[in-house]
A and B are shown apart, each in its own frame.
Chain A
Amino acid sequence: GAVVSQHPSRVICKSGTSVKIECRSLDFQATTMFWYRQFPKKSLMLMATSNEGSKATYEQGVEKDKFLINHASLTLSTLTVTSAHPEDSSFYICSAIIRGIHNQPQHFGDGTRLSIL
């Protein structure tokens, strides 16, 4: 149980394009989802915390107008990279926690590799 699915797994697009990444909790309801990015050979960096029905909380240094997060339902959060440029190329990973259970493990998706040409 506790499966998190990300789509797409890989995307390649031209500079200036906006790209939407979906994060779904398949078999549970998630009040909170998290978005991370990871550069090659580096650790995961938390970008934002997404709560269902409210605005996302962004970490310091993360541009909220650049990385739009929507968490419209208890099973879906989306990250849109707007007007993407080559420096936005990275591995984006989401995670989710099960509704109503505090301080339990985050369940991670398998990530989306974004390449901007």
Chain B
Amino acid sequence: DARVTQTPRHKVTEMGQEVTMRCQPILGHNTVFWYRQTMMQGLELLAYFRNRAPLDDSGMPKDRFSAEMPDATLATLKIQPSEPRDSAVYFCASGLSRDRVRGYGYTFGSGTRLTVV
């Protein structure tokens, strides 16, 4: 089965450090999403891309978070500087937009558990 690959699986870092999370979407998927999951807020959309172009990053704290897709096989989410409140599980998901075929739901990666101490 095709998979969305996220690295690292776990990350512990000190406050103030830069954190980079990576995602390899499923080959052929043209839409990539970043979600954050916390106990308090649940699953929140941070940003999403279609054909590598950012479509919506309104859920992201702009001063410290950035998301990019350098190429079709890699999406990155960076936090600089990191803060303890950023501790969460960060999910990447990929899918096909309705421009090509009726979407059937995203495929999620296994997530990166980030702990900022």
Please determine whether chains A and B interact with each other in the same assembly: no
Binding site for A on B (CB under 8 A): none
